[in-house]
Amino acid sequence: MIIFDKNMLSNYFKKVHSWCLENKNDLYIAALILFVSLASFGLGRLSILWPKKESIKITNGQLPISNDNRTEQKFNKPASIISAAEGKYVASKSGTAYHYPWCPGALKIKEENKIFFNTKEEAENKRYKPAGNCPGL
């Protein structure tokens, strides 16, 4: 059986204290590594709680249709009909800019006022310019 007296505990405390003072920088680095690893582990565990996002699925070449009537009126044509049969770019007869068929500006053009082009050059030869609110043009 080991019996600890006051002097023995005091000596151990002094040894540990002097070792900590000598290795202070190494202890800070070890504590920092421990903190970062615990924080990373905790964030990884929290990511399980975040809701999963559902992927968008387009079947039969259809554009997404929502319950909103305005959106349904805009997206009721199959994607293949918009791009292949009519053209890749659309402009208004009275306008000055051309758009992709799905851009906000193109969706506001009435069907009877739409002009379709297969290439950007074709639209620019007719003195139309790229629409500013249509990303990618």
Q: How confident is the model at residue 134 (pLDDT cuts 50, 70, 90)?
A: confident
Amino acid found at 109: I
Top pLDDT among 70 and 121 is at: 121
Identify the pLDDT of residue 20.
92
* Predicted confidence (pLDDT) per residue in 41-67, tens digit: 999 888 888 777 777 776 665 455 445
Global pTM exceeds 0.75: no
Higher pLDDT among residues 135 and 28, named by residue: 28
Produce one character per residue of 70-101: b if its CB has 16 or more CB atoms within 10 Å, e if not. Answer: eeeebbeeebeebbeebbbbbbbeebebbbbb
- Between CA 16 and CA 10 the distance in angstroms is 10
Predicted local distance difference test score (pLDDT) of residue 78:
46
Q: What is the pLDDT of residue 61?
A: 54
